[in-house]
Amino acid sequence: MTKYVYDFSEGNKEMKDLLGGKGANLAEMTNMGLPVPPGFTITTEACLAFLAKGGAPPEMLEEAGEHLRRLEEAMGKALGDPSDPLLVSVRSGAKFSMPGMMDTVLNLGLNDASVKGLAEQTGGDMRFALDAYRRFIQMFGKIVMDVPADAFEHALDEAKHAKFEGAQDTDLDQDDLATLIERFRAIYAEHTGEDFPKDPKEQLRLSIAAVLESWNGKRARDYRRQNKISDDLGTAVNVVAMVFGNRGDDSGTGVAFTRDPANGDRVPYGDYLPNAQGEDVVAGIRNTLPLAKLEELDPVSYGELLQVMHTLEMHYRDMCDIEFTIEKGRLWILQTRIGKRTALAEWVMAFDMLEEGLVDEDTALLRVDANRLEELFKRRVKADGASPIAKGLNASPGAAIGEVVFTADEAEARAKGGARVVLVRRETTPDDYHGMIAAQGILTSAGGTNSHAAVVARGEGIPAVCGADAIRLDLAGKRFEANGTTVAEGDVITIDGFTGDVYVGELPLEESVLEKARAGDASAREEKIWGAFERLMAHADARRRMRVRANADTPDQSTNARERGAEGIGLCRTEHMFLGEERVEAVRQMIFAETPEQEQAAYDVLLPLQRGDFVGIFRAMSGLPVTVRLLDPPLHEFLPNQVELAVEVALGKERGEDVSEQERVLRKVNELHEANPMLGLRGVRLGIVKPGLYAMQVRAICEAAAQVKKEGGDPKVEIMIPLVATRPELEQMRAELEPVARQVLADAGVELEHLEFGTMIEVPRAAVTAGEIAEVADFFSFGTNDLTQMGFGFSRDDIGKFVGMYEERKLVPANPFVTVDRPGIGRMMAIACAEGKAANPNLHLGICGEHGGDPASVTFCHEVGLDYVSCSPFRVETARLAAGQAAVGSAESASK
């Protein structure tokens, strides 16, 4: 029989699949002997069974009842006992942390009778008991019964106002709370048509069901989609004995990180809120104190907390994030997990922990996320004396410039229209998630570094400034005021998530430390992040099997790529060499040529220009392979637009002008017009139809290589023929072009050690007949842009219209133009690799589609046995890192 419920003493940290992250870590800490309140976990399997059946499996209820009985025994109290009640919290906790996306109910077990028992038990503290009760009604109403949160908030605000201007919730006394509870109960009844349930078992049953159901709530689904978390995991539910941080000034609650999650510094970090319950910290309801303040308030608990933090970090060998509560001077640990951190902190911590001997090099390498590396190269605000209008906490690094918006919906709508926006709120709630991820940056006037806004922003890599309390929001007037400056919706502001500064207008941005250090800046090279970057990248380079090349079309791009560690060019697209006034003229001459002589004359103009380009590229990449792709796009791209030209001709005629030249061009344009140019006369087909074209390009390439070789350089040339679908296409082209190359080199008296002919595999037919094609190719380079386009039948230029919906409905696990679709396109690649290698063991294999810079795709390329990946110059570091991680990851799994 399936076991649906586990006591904390029965689990451990490896059981995240079943117990969720929170449950598994609570179990681990319980078994480590840390002060965790007792409790039990209802498994994710129970959640899936619940959701499938639309109700709780009877065995689950039975088991939960049994565990509750044991919990009551352990605590020496019974749930809802009017004289000495046990209270519990019911907390969600999936395998992956989904901050604030699912539901939690606190103080469960209170009713009109047990609230008195609670007061007695707590030394007659009726105010405390009533406060717990009103919180419970509020949470239960909102979470379990969908009573609008505003209704309760509004009543609470009214109560505070009635007390005195500027009153906090802690200013409400016993009588105020008793009145408020009456009001809350009335609100509950109004919205649900029922009385607030008195029976604690009923409260528990309903709460567990609500938490399980929250797995499928909109917020949770949105979050999973954005973070690529499967819908099939389910959440666990933790039922935990309550401890109280709101029992006076010797109580409180907080969040602590064993190191600074923003910059990685090895110092404890966090927020503390005296006399409050856990949810208050995350919700940013009152501004929190920095954790260090706890040392003054309660040195004993602070010391204990530091000890626990140390124990946890040594145990998990990573930075831990801890939720704790102090109840009357006694410390309780309510949760721990591996802490989320910024991209910067991730590198600094991995490096420090490696230096400290806490982790080995491979582990340190796997600790950094290749998807976020680009963030570290992000620019910063260059303030140059500009004065900020407000300052908040530097909650998430990066600089953001955008139009001010005040609601998540507005942020989403404007961003969809192409605008850059900064979402400005008092604080955010999980309901704002869709707007937050659409914004360039987030600015809040309340809340600490662990408020919802800060946590989400850091996780998503969105710059954020939180708790900028000089900001006075006027939501009705759609504006805010800060230190005398008024900013209206639509005005542009700049926020600096590194410093917490907020500026009006668009400020200039400056290069990141890494970018400066890479360029040789001495002081940037002193910074720890540079040391971390160098050390871990060196390890990635040492571990990776695949080489990393860049897609670069010019000498400048090639130099940039080489500086970033590119080990060659995997794709030099030659089409730009046909652009520019002089060149387009010659290209048109080639297209219009009526005799071989006219065509040749055009090639004679183009040849020296192209040769010059190749010389620059071969010099920049001396000693490294350069794959040059012969012309790929359809010829009409070099001619004027058909419609515009037709209009020009018609208008000219109307005006009685001589339009004979335009008419001649139009005739040619019409002649070349294709209904479906992506599948038309392009790629190798061009080479076949216009043999002089590819011959000219091969001549230019080889003349350039000969020149660079004579200068003392070392060009390594790979000539690539695009869009091949059949072996004879490549065979015939090669038979025509290879002699041209050999002749040019012989004439120049130069020998190249490395001169290869190969093809792109970008047409499905080529992939599945790769064994035949490999016999006449020296290399394959997967053109996964076209392979994906033709494999799915998705136009790569138009997919933007529906790919979002496809992802949302999980029709594809990810945008297949970003991450290789393993079962389909990936399978074709695997077939082509295996059959190509079998037919030609010397064949070398690479990828030059956009996927070459996507970490998940790089991992796939490693697995399928490619020799290299090629990506845009700015992603070379990402690809190097991902390739190193793929090698370490596969070594790890092989040794398991």
Q: How far is the CB of 566 from ligand PEP (least distance, A)?
A: 16
Site string for ligand PEP, 567-586 (x = CB under 6 A): ----x-x-------------
Within 13 Å of residue 814, how many CA atoms lie on the same side as its CB? 16
User: How many whole angstroms separate alpha carbon 218 and alpha carbon 823?
Assistant: 29
Question: What tokens does 464 get?
Answer: 């954020």
* Binding flag, residue 872, ligand PEP (CB under 6 A): no
Q: How far is the CB of 551 from Mg ion (least distance, A)?
A: 11
Q: How far is the CB of 870 from ligand PEP (least distance, A)?
A: 9
Residues between 763 and 792 with contacts to Mg ion, criterion CB under 5 A:
783, 786
What type of residue sits at position 785? N
Q: How far is the CB of 825 from ligand PEP (least distance, A)?
A: 11
β-bridge mates for residue 273, sequence order: 253
Stretch that binds ligand PEP, among 74-82, 433-441, 444-452, 780-788 (CB under 6 A): 780-788
> Which lies closer to Mg ion via its Cβ, residue 380 or residue 682?
682
* Binding flag, residue 685, ligand PEP (CB under 6 A): no
Active site includes 452? yes
Q: How far is the CB of 850 from ligand PEP (least distance, A)?
A: 7
User: How many whole angstroms separate alpha carbon 154 and alpha carbon 191?
Assistant: 15
β-bridge mates for residue 85, sequence order: 78
Determine which one of 848, 851, 861, 862 is catalytic: 848
Under 8 Å between Cβ of 21 and 57: no
Residues between 734 and 773 with contacts to ligand PEP, criterion CB under 6 A:
762
**Distance set, CA 558 to CA 529, 571, 613, 626, 700 (Å):** 26, 11, 11, 10, 18
- Judged on CB neighbours under 10 Å (0-12, 13-18, 19+), 178 is middle
Q: Say how far residue 145 (Cα) sits from the centre of its chain.
A: 33
> Which lies closer to ligand PEP via its Cβ, residue 254 or residue 849?
849
User: Which residue is it, tokens 């969908």?
Assistant: 146
* Binding flag, residue 786, ligand PEP (CB under 6 A): yes
Q: Which does 573 bind (CB under 5 to 8 A by kind): ligand PEP, Mg ion, none?
A: ligand PEP
Under 8 Å between Cβ of 64 and 238: no
What type of residue sits at position 671? E
Total binding residues toward ligand PEP, as defined by CB under 6 A:
10
Dihedral of CA atoms 125, 131, 136, 141 in degrees, nearest 10, equals 150
User: How many whole angstroms separate alpha carbon 170 and alpha carbon 462?
Assistant: 34
Site string for ligand PEP, 604-643 (x = CB under 6 A): ----------------------------x-----------
> Which lies closer to ligand PEP via its Cβ, residue 353 or residue 546?
546
Site string for ligand PEP, 268-287 (x = CB under 6 A): --------------------
Active site includes 315? no
Q: Pick from 703, 762, 821, 835: which binds Mg ion (CB under 5 A)?
A: 762
Question: What tokens does 669 get?
Answer: 């344009």
Query: What's the longest Cα–Cα distance across the chain?
Result: 106
**Distance set, CA 308 to CA 39, 175, 323, 724 (Å):** 20, 39, 12, 63
Determine which one of 67, 452, 844, 851 is catalytic: 452
> Which lies closer to Mg ion via its Cβ, residue 331 or residue 767?
767
> Which lies closer to Mg ion via its Cβ, residue 40 or residue 817?
817
Phi/psi-derived region of residue 440, left when phi > 0, alpha when psi is between -120 and 50, beta in every other case: alpha
Q: Which does 402 bind (CB under 5 to 8 A by kind): ligand PEP, Mg ion, none?
A: none
* Binding flag, residue 553, Mg ion (CB under 5 A): no
Residues between 841 and 860 with contacts to ligand PEP, criterion CB under 6 A:
848-849
Q: Coil, helix or strand for 735?
A: helix
> Which lies closer to ligand PEP via its Cβ, residue 708 or residue 869?
869
> Which lies closer to ligand PEP via its Cβ, residue 280 or residue 632?
632
**Distance set, CA 426 to CA 277, 400, 562 (Å):** 20, 18, 46
> Which lies closer to Mg ion via its Cβ, residue 214 or residue 781?
781
- Judged on CB neighbours under 10 Å (0-12, 13-18, 19+), 221 is middle
Residues between 70 and 89 with contacts to ligand PEP, criterion CB under 6 A:
none
Q: Pick from 31, 179, 407, 785: which binds ligand PEP (CB under 6 A)?
A: 785
Contacts for 867 with CB less than 8 Å, ≥ 6 apart: 546, 547, 844, 845, 846
Which DSSP string do the residues of 641-662 spell out, in sequence order? Answer: -HHHHHHHHHHHHHTT---HHH
Q: How far is the CB of 729 from ligand PEP (least distance, A)?
A: 16
Q: List residues binding Mg ion (CB under 5 A).
A: 762, 783, 786
Catalytically active residues are: 452, 848
Q: List residues binding ligand PEP (CB under 6 A).
A: 571, 573, 632, 762, 783-786, 848-849
